[in-house]
Amino acid sequence: MSDVHDLFRRAADYAAQFHDTLDDRPVGPPASFDDLVQALGGPLADEEHGDADVISELIAAAEPGLVGSQTGRYFGFVFGSAMPAAVAADWVASAWDQNAFSVVTSPAAAAAEQVAAGWLAELLGLPDGGSCGFVTGAQGANTTALAAARQHVLARAGWDVGRDGLHGAPPIRVLAGVERHVTIDRSLRLLGLGTGALELVPANGQGRMRADALRDALAGGTGPVIVCAQAGNVNTGAVDPLNEIADACAAAGAWHHVDGAFGLWASASPRFRHLTVGCERADSWATDAHKWLNVPYDCGIVFCRHPQSHGDAMAVAASYLQRADGRSPSDWVPESSRRARGFAVWAALRSLGRNGVADLVDRCCDHARAFADLLGAEPGVEILNDVVLNQVLVRFDDDDETTREVVRRVQADGTCWLGGTDWQGRAAMRISVSSFRTTGTDVERSVGAILEAAAAVSGSLR
């Protein structure tokens, strides 16, 4: 057996064993960051080191610092796990080491992205004929989409932002809900529009942008305008009224962007797609595959109805960068050399099929509902949100300190992991069910651990 064969075999055996033992592994990392730096650290050696030893040392040093997002009882942030077929495809992508820049640099990577993009658009109910880029995450997708938007609305105002920049350009109004995701703000900073350009549209108690307020705000100004809607509030899961927002944008001639990092996946489920009705009318969309599709990090996807504006904002040309006929994957993303993310997405979709994706969405939402029902039935426990999707906000004894202490204790207990947040001025425990691995038993065990932690701190649960 060659050394390489042996090395890859060991890594694969380790990965398989890691997966087989997920249920017994801690969901929170046992080691501190400083311990890990020490374990991995020391001076860079002068001499070479054997590959097999390198991998063994890496595993031994890093494993105590792993977060259990591959387990079924990790409910922090909006983290998906990674499905076996997608993980294996991602390894193969690494072994192939393809550069997904263009059809010339890797016809296979470009073809996988194109096919996966078509399947994704169909699943998410997006229109044909648009452009699609594979980026690092919804942050990258929002930035790319808003760059296309900036290009488009300024071109309509007679300004070429690609050539002339923003100095002297007609000001762009950017309207977004008060409960937009923070990545929108970062995108605006990166794009030179600045967060000062934001006009915040009020939202209801669930964080849904109010379409009537948007209509009023649009009527109160003129000039190039971009509206950032959201499918899936990161706390409540609420989806903005996309159809009404589309009406308002059409009437005002505004670019309509949808940040659907996870919520856009509701469209893939016959049970939940009523939430995203109207999303197909937008001009651009951002979503993630590393969240609800459960592909390994990292993978976000940007879709755009206007390939010309998208390409004008992103594409590059140089004499040495030979092109095949037609568009190149690099026309839709801000990077040049790039990981071939399409293989893992292709594998996830091929493995799940249309029904499997719908089932994944449904199961996560049903588990979220079960969390809300089981916890909400206890005295002193309040569910703060309408559980429309996979997000649940829980508050204990209607008290900030109690709620934060329950979160701390649950994290320390290690049965499950979830985070805390503040929802409209009140502390809350935040549960996001985004893993294909979560089972009813995981939910029951986690509810037990949460109630035990709550009983230890809360007067009414004692």
Which residues form the interface with ligand PLP (CB under 6 A)?
78, 137-139, 181, 183, 230, 232, 234, 259, 261-262, 288, 300
For 391, the enclosing helix (H) or strand (E) is: strand 391-396
Nearer residue to ligand PLP within complex by CB, 126 or 154? 126
Nearer residue to ligand PLP within complex by CB, 80 or 224? 80
**Residue number with the shortest CB distance to ligand PLP?**
137
413-426 b/e (C-beta count within 10 Å ≥ 16 → b): bebbbbebbebeee
163 exposure class (CB count in 10 Å sphere: 0-12, 13-18, 19+): exposed
Q: How far is the CB of 421 from ligand PLP (least distance, A)?
A: 12
Nearer residue to ligand PLP within complex by CB, 159 or 292? 292
Q: How far is the CB of 28 from ligand PLP (least distance, A)?
A: 19
Nearer residue to ligand PLP within complex by CB, 191 or 234? 234
Residue 177 CA to residue 69 CA, distance in Å, equals 30
For 50, the enclosing helix (H) or strand (E) is: none
Q: How far is the CB of 335 from ligand PLP (least distance, A)?
A: 14
Residue 231 CA to residue 123 CA, distance in Å, equals 15
Instruction: Compute how many other C-beta atoms are within 10 angstroms of the C-beta atom of residue 314.
Output: 22
Q: How far is the CB of 205 from ligand PLP (least distance, A)?
A: 18
Residue 246 CA to residue 229 CA, distance in Å, equals 9
Q: How far is the CB of 185 from ligand PLP (least distance, A)?
A: 11
Nearer residue to ligand PLP within complex by CB, 1 or 182? 182
Nearer residue to ligand PLP within complex by CB, 301 or 394? 301
Cβ-defined contacts of 62-66 (< 8 Å, 24+): 62/36, 64/29, 64/30, 64/31, 64/35, 64/36, 64/39, 65/29, 65/31, 65/33, 65/35, 65/36, 66/25, 66/29
Q: How far is the CB of 127 from ligand PLP (least distance, A)?
A: 21
